[in-house]
Amino acid sequence: MVQSPAATRPLPLLRRLGGRFMSLDVRNIGNIKIEDMALSGGYFAIFWLLEAVNLTAFGSLKVEAFASAWPAIAVLGCAGVLFRRTSPTAMAWMCGTAAVGLLLAGQAGAFLLMFELFFSLVLFGTARASALASHAAWVLSALSVAGAFALFRDAGIAVAAGFIAVLTLLTPAEWAGNLRKANQLADSESARADAVQEASRQRLLAERNAHDLALEHERAHLARELHDVISARLCAIALQSGAALHGAPEGSGRVLLHQIRGESVAGLEELNTMIRLLHTREVSESPGRLADLESLTESRRAAGLEVHLDNAMDDGGHHLPLSVQTAVYRIVSESLINAAKHAPGQPVDISLAASGPGEELVVSVRNLLPSDPSGAPTGTGTGIPSMHFRATHAGGMLRTGPEEEHWVVRLRLPHQPQDSTDPNEGARA
């Protein structure tokens, strides 16, 4: 007799069951939580205890073939508990099969496995599996009550069946559903907090970009103004003083004109350096070494200021880093300007020396206080703050103020050997 092809094919239910078991990835074994292992062992200990005290489920439904094999069925169910987080679907098939087997074996532990099945499937399963398990809990509860009443025609048995259904089906489903909603809410709040933080970061980045763009526009505007106004005026001073110098007779007037032209040309060069810096941010070496202090004092003497320079540094301090030399030069230059402005006619003493155990550089600029301070002209108020900034930027400390009858500017800088050959270091000071 030839069997039909339909009879040779496995039943759809068995094929689906086999597919569920095949979906269990052995790699998930490494992701099993220790608490799930403890829970699985606890379930098996409870099963063994229930068997030891002969606490059965339904004695009339007990099948001897299943009763003798209850340890193997319990092991299957406990093994399913191990995969409650990593593979909830495989857990549901293993625990469901074991629960039915324990129920037929008369083991009350079947209700524990049903509790675990619905709790884990609703809490750890996919959204679709969780919803199906929650609905199935209500359907099975109603069917168990209706089936118990239809089978035994006893309201007490029907109520007992409903009570068991509530404990093993509805309670775990509702409990796990609430926990799942709480976890989803926590994940949503965490994602919202991350989104707010990212938005804040993007807003801060946009503000910084806008600030940098505004600075670029301001630098470009400042460079244009310096070139069109200040540079043009210095150029005119240089040209006019040069023209006057050619026709000037020998004497103090010619020396003064020569000094005016030299200062205007030097100022024009420094201004052009600043304009290039504002336009391109490319820093080129600008004058301001200790070697230039001599020419600086000579120019101030030619302008009528009595200046005394005493440089006691080894090799004149040329071994110092360019940033230190430039800071000293700029601070001394500003001090001389302030002395000529606020104490005209008073001599100025400049000294440079190495002092202290660390051989720090000490720069002192002293001049007598004016006899009538009220008559001294006022400035813009930016000179001294600028000197303090240069001193701090070079790693030193500046003190300015009156000492007895003198106005003193005292600068202390670390005395370091020059270890850089970067020509742009001095211009960055």
Q: What CATH number corresponds to the domain at position 358?
A: 3.30.565.10
Give domain status of residue 272, yes or no.
no
**What local confidence, expressed as pLDDT, does residue 8 receive?**
43
Beta bridge pairs of residue 19: none
3-state secondary structure 347-403: CEEEEEEEECCCCEEEEEEEEECCCCHHHCCCCCCCHHHHHHHHHHHCCCEEEEEEE
Give domain status of residue 216, yes or no.
no
Q: What is the domain extent for residue 336?
A: 283-369+379-428
Report how far residue 350's alpha carbon sits from residue 363's, in angstroms, rounded to the nearest whole number.
7
User: Which of 260, 335, 328, 336 has the alpha carbon at shortest distance from 292?
Assistant: 328
| Same-domain check for residues 55 and 164 | yes
Q: How many CB atoms are closer than 10 A to CB 21?
A: 13
| Same-domain check for residues 294 and 193 | no
Give domain status of residue 215, yes or no.
no
| Same-domain check for residues 47 and 157 | yes
> Which tokens is 179 given?
């926990």
The residue among 138, 167, 197 that closes a domain is: 197
End-to-end CA distance of the chain: 105
| Same-domain check for residues 75 and 174 | yes
| Same-domain check for residues 175 and 290 | no
Give domain status of residue 269, yes or no.
no
| Same-domain check for residues 189 and 302 | no
Predicted structure pTM score:
0.46
- Spatial CB neighbours of 114, under 8 Å, sequence gap ≥ 6: 95, 99, 168, 169
Domains in the chain, number: 2
Give domain status of residue 87, yes or no.
yes
Residue 1 burial by CB count (10 A; 0-12/13-18/19+): exposed, middle or buried?
A: exposed
| Same-domain check for residues 193 and 287 | no
The DSSP call for residue 85 is T
Give domain status of residue 243, yes or no.
no
| Same-domain check for residues 170 and 303 | no
| Same-domain check for residues 188 and 289 | no
| Same-domain check for residues 289 and 190 | no
Give domain status of residue 3, yes or no.
no
Interval 1-58: pLDDT, tens: 444 444 444 455 445 555 555 555 555 565 777 888 888 888 888 888 888 887 766 6
**What local confidence, expressed as pLDDT, does residue 56 receive?**
67
**What local confidence, expressed as pLDDT, does residue 24 receive?**
53
The residue among 153, 177, 197 that closes a domain is: 197
Report how far residue 19's alpha carbon sits from residue 141's, in angstroms, rounded to the nearest whole number.
28
Contact (Cβ atoms closer than 8 angstroms) between residue 101 and residue 67: no
SS3 assignment, position 86: coil
| Same-domain check for residues 29 and 166 | yes
Q: Quote the strand ranges of 155-218, DSSP E.
A: none
Q: What mean pLDDT is reported for the chain?
A: 79
User: Which of 87, 99, 73, 104 has the alpha carbon at shortest distance from 169?
Assistant: 99
The residue among 170, 197, 224 that closes a domain is: 197
Report how far residue 42's alpha carbon sits from residue 24's, in angstroms, rounded to the nearest whole number.
23
**What local confidence, expressed as pLDDT, does residue 178 receive?**
92
Give domain status of residue 274, yes or no.
no
SS3 assignment, position 420: coil
Report how far residue 402's alpha carbon sits from residue 409's, in angstroms, rounded to the nearest whole number.
9
SS3 assignment, position 316: helix
Q: How many CB atoms are closer than 10 A to CB 71?
A: 13
List the chain pLDDT tens, one digit each, 429 residues.
444 444 444 455 445 555 555 555 555 565 777 888 888 888 888 888 888 887 766 656 677 788 888 888 889 888 888 888 888 888 888 888 888 888 888 888 888 889 989 999 999 888 898 899 889 889 988 888 888 888 888 888 888 888 888 888 899 999 989 999 999 899 999 999 999 999 999 999 999 999 988 888 887 888 777 777 777 777 777 777 777 777 777 766 777 777 777 777 777 777 777 777 777 765 554 557 888 888 888 878 877 788 999 988 877 778 888 888 888 888 998 888 888 888 888 899 999 988 765 568 889 999 988 776 665 555 567 788 888 988 888 888 999 989 888 899 999 887 655 444 444 443 333
